[in-house]
Structure 1
């Protein structure tokens, strides 16, 4: 039975009825390299051609800068599929991206040790 407002593509017991690979037309690799923390945002340009419902959802989500990982979480799709959808929108100029901004190197040893110490204190 479909959940209210979700239409025929979602079933309470079975989950998503359309498999993720169909959302990306079987593609598994995006045309643009995207990091999980890359920020994506709409440009205001109208994409030409057919957009699936997931593409439209992405455009609604990205009115403000959003990390790729967060877009995947909102769509409830695997990150690989989400990256393909985002690349489609980047290719047609509907989205723009910028790399994540780190004040320090994300692999800085002192930073990682501080995180580890904080986690140990929580346990």
Structure 2
């Protein structure tokens, strides 16, 4: 009987139950303030994760020693963004990671100013 990884070039593939196990059965993050553009950074001083931490949680905290976006972290972990979001949310809640949002709305350019720039560019033609 053959199984995963029996053929040449085949790699071990995780089963469908794996994401469920990684997130401890949850499919939604505990907070909705973390988006794909959210920047994650390890807490200072870095805390020691509990022995029950998954290897994905350990890797996420390690890679966030430098500022990293959620979507970059998901790519490095080779996990779906939704799964990385659940992990990051848990680590933020427990104090191992800090989340920094993107540019605040007050800093974004005014829509009237953007419209004036667009109108000016159109007059240049």
- Compute the TM-score of the two structures, normalised by the length of structure 1: 0.68
Q: Mind listing any 5+ residue stretches in structure 1 that lack a counterpart?
A: 3-11, 115-123
Alignment of 1:57-68 (within 5 A): 57-68=59-70
CA distance in 1 between partners of 2:67 and 2:74 (Å): 14
CA contact (8 A) 1:21 1:27 kept: yes
Aligned length: 101
Judging changes above 3 Å, is the alpha-carbon distance between structure 1 residues 58 and 16 closer, same or farther for their aligned structure 2 residues? Answer: farther
Q: Which runs of 4+ in 1 moved over 4 A?
A: none
Alignment of 1:79-98 (within 5 A): 79-98=81-100
Alignment of 1:33-44 (within 5 A): 33=32, 34-43=34-43, 44=46
Judging changes above 3 Å, is the alpha-carbon distance between structure 1 residues 93 and 49 closer, same or farther for their aligned structure 2 residues? Answer: farther
TM-superposed CA distance for 1:86, in Å, is 0.7
- Compute the TM-score of the two structures, normalised by the length of structure 2: 0.67
Give a deviation string over 1:54-99, Cα, whole Å, max 9, x none.
Answer: 0011011101110000011111111111111111211111100110
Across the aligned residues of Structure 1 and Structure 2, the Cα RMSD in angstroms comes to: 2.7
Match of 1:51 in 2: 53
Match of 1:104 in 2: 108
CA distance in 2 between partners of 1:104 and 1:30 (Å): 27
Q: Mind listing any 5+ residue stretches in structure 2 that lack a counterpart?
A: 119-125
CA distance in 1 between partners of 2:93 and 2:48 (Å): 12
CA contact (8 A) 1:47 1:93 kept: no
Give the greater-gyration-radius structure (CA).
2
Judging changes above 3 Å, is the alpha-carbon distance between structure 1 residues 90 and 13 closer, same or farther for their aligned structure 2 residues? Answer: same
Give a deviation string over 1:27-62, Cα, whole Å, max 9, x none.
Answer: 100112211000000001233451010001101110
